[in-house]
Amino acid sequence: MATPPQTGSASRPLKVILPGTRYHRIRKTVQLICFLIFILLPLFNIVRFDIPHERFYFFGAELWISEFSIIFLALIFLMFSIAAVAMLYGRIYCGYLCPQMIFSEAANALESFINRKVNRSLSQLSPPARKVISVALFSAVLLPAAVFVSFVFISFFVQPADLFQRLLSLDIRTSGGILGASVTLVTLLDFAFLRQRFCTAICPYGYLQNMLADNHTLLVHFSDAQGKCIQCDKCVRACPMGIDIRTSSHQLECTHCAECIDACSGILGKLGRPSLIQYAWGDAGNNAVEEHLWYRRIGLRDGKRIVVLLLMLIYASGLAIAISLRQPVLVRIMPNRITLYTKAPDGLIHNRFRLIAINRGKAQAKLTITLADLPAAQIVGLHDGITLQPGQSLQQEFEISAAANAVQPGVNHLRILTQVVPTQKSEDFDETFIAPMDSAPTPAPGVKP
């Protein structure tokens, strides 16, 4: 093994990157973790937009579509995070985190593995015959893989248990079943034919990332001021996107995967030299891993980035507070003024109201409704204590009645008080009770009408 050369007067060895696959290993480990996260997010309700049930699951919180403000805040936070990551770290997401890239690289690796095995073990067959066998074997593995990936992807929008039932029954008649079959077909064609071509030809996030980049964004940079490049082209051959990073650091196809860095450090490391390709902050080519200040090393290199980080913290705090303050039981009461009032033969005046109660929590709740400020009024048509099961929505009409001679003609004010057990949340609804203009309260003894 070559001994790294000594430098200057000091006997410290020159710091070189030895042959190896430093970033490749890191990237594959990160991709494996991301693959697991991709599977676990919908299965454990960490992120799922459940379209049939009109729910949005966000880190364990079950948000109803009626809680639009929190959902909106959560979506804005996710979009903001994606944009901020692109501004700080360029296309790191593509190279390390994106499911499309992970599955494309897995498909590439699988195809090469099968080709190698078939060519080696069936060398007596003609090349076309070996090709047919390789394609058949590859397809046999790709089909169940595409079904699995599609299943996980659709689980971001449909409950996995529902989806599993549809899959078992091979449902291709309902709209959900047709959608599932279509996504599976697109996934299959994607990983059979498109793979990384999708990243450069179709994916809008790639274009967005390039637009968000500035002079301090992380990129993969080739620098050879001293003419040390041995023109081995190993970096080009290692690039999964088929580009030559030496021509420019701003190529749309570059996903910042760092395979070229490993390739160059592998070949030049044997000569005791460092790689000519590095992660760098902006075109100035500052080596990203040689920063001394920790905040500059993680990408906080100017005021703009600190403001973005602060904004994200504010968003995240607002979102956490909004989720922690949300009430699991929603109660709404509103008057039904299609008729202002009705007068019963027994002389009672009736006003109609509508109750909407939704239990968005996971425990049973009990709702009690009482009246205040209009002593003669009473509730008709509601149980004394309404039980709401988890997930139950209730819409019910009820009446408030009062004797004609016990209320003022025209508008009377009252409050409807609601209380929820066990959350102990109470709410007052200021409402009006309408009585006919010809009704008259009975004068108190001794008072002239």
- 369 contacts ligand SF4 (rule: CB under 6 A): no
Q: Choose the binding region for ligand SF4 from 37-45, 202-210, 258-266, 331-339 (rule: CB under 6 A).
A: 258-266
Tell me how far CA of residue 11 lies from CA of 4, 14, 15, 214, 316, in angstroms. Answer: 11, 9, 12, 40, 50
User: Cα–Cα distance between 189 and 445 in angstroms, integer?
Assistant: 89
CB atoms within 10 A of CB 280: 21
How many angstroms separate the most distant Cα atoms in the chain? 120
Print the binding letters for residues 34-73 with ligand SF4: x by CB under 6 A, - otherwise. ----------------------------------------
Residues 6+ away with beta carbon under 8 Å from 209:
86, 90, 91, 93, 94
Q: How is residue 410 written in tokens?
A: 């025209």
Specify whether the CB–CB gap between 318 and 73 falls below 8 A: yes
| Contact flag: residue 268 with ligand SF4 (CB under 6 A) | yes
Choose which of 107, 258, 349, 407 interacts with ligand SF4 (CB under 6 A).
258
Which positions from 194 to 233 touch ligand SF4 by CB under 6 A, shown as an x/- string?
A: --------------------------x--------xxxxx
CB distance 188 to 65 below 8 Å: no
Q: Which amino acid is at 224?
A: D
> Could you give the CA distance from residue 429 to residue 334 in angstroms, rounded to a whole number?
9
Half-sphere exposure of 16 (CA within 13 A, CB side): 22
Residues 6+ apart with CB under 8 A from 350: 341, 342, 343, 344, 380, 399, 400, 401
Hey, what's the torsion of the CAs at 132, 137, 139, 141, to 10 degrees?
-170
Q: Which of 16, 70, 154, 263 is the binder for ligand SF4 (CB under 6 A)?
A: 263
| Shortest distance in whole angstroms from residue 316 CB to ligand SF4 | 30
Asked if 16 touches ligand SF4 (CB under 6 A), the answer is no
**245 binds ligand SF4 per the rule CB under 6 A:** yes
Q: How far is the CB of 258 from ligand SF4 (least distance, A)?
A: 5
345: amino acid identity, one letter: P
| Nearer to ligand SF4 (CB atom), residue 166 or residue 256 | 256
Stretch of 117-125, 259-267, 300-308, 422-430 lying at the interface with ligand SF4 (CB under 6 A) = 259-267
130 vs 246 by CB, closer to ligand SF4: 246
Number of residues in contact with ligand SF4, rule: CB under 6 A?
A: 27
Q: Rounded to an integer, what distance in angstroms lies between the CA atom of residue 231 and that of residue 246?
A: 10
CA 69 to each of CA 42, 75, 287, 322: distance values in angstroms, whole numbers, following the listed order: 22, 10, 43, 9
Taking the least distance from each CB to ligand SF4, the nearer of 109 and 334 is 109
Nearest to 270 by CA among 236, 232, 221: 232
Rounded-to-integer distance, Cα 35 and Cα 106, Å: 11
- Measured from the CB atom, the residue of 71 and 229 that comes closer to ligand SF4 is 229
CB of 245 vs ligand SF4, minimal distance in Å: 4
Binder among 118, 235, 388, 407 for ligand SF4 (CB under 6 A): 235
241 binds ligand SF4 (CB under 6 A): yes
Residue 189 CB, nearest distance to ligand SF4 (Å)? 23
Site string for ligand SF4, 147-176 (x = CB under 6 A): ------------------------------
* Interaction between residue 98 and ligand SF4 (CB under 6 A): no
Six token digits for residue 185 = 């077909």
Site of tokens 């729910």: 55
Specify the stretch interacting with ligand SF4 by CB under 6 A; choose among 162-170, 171-179, 242-250, 374-382. 242-250
> Cβ of residue 392: shortest distance to ligand SF4, in angstroms?
52
Among 16, 73, 218, 243, binds ligand SF4 (CB under 6 A): 243
State the DSSP string of 109-127. Answer: HHHHHHHHHHHHHTTTS-H
* Chain contacts with ligand SF4 (rule: CB under 6 A): 220, 229-235, 238-239, 241, 243, 245-246, 254-260, 263-264, 267-268, 276-277
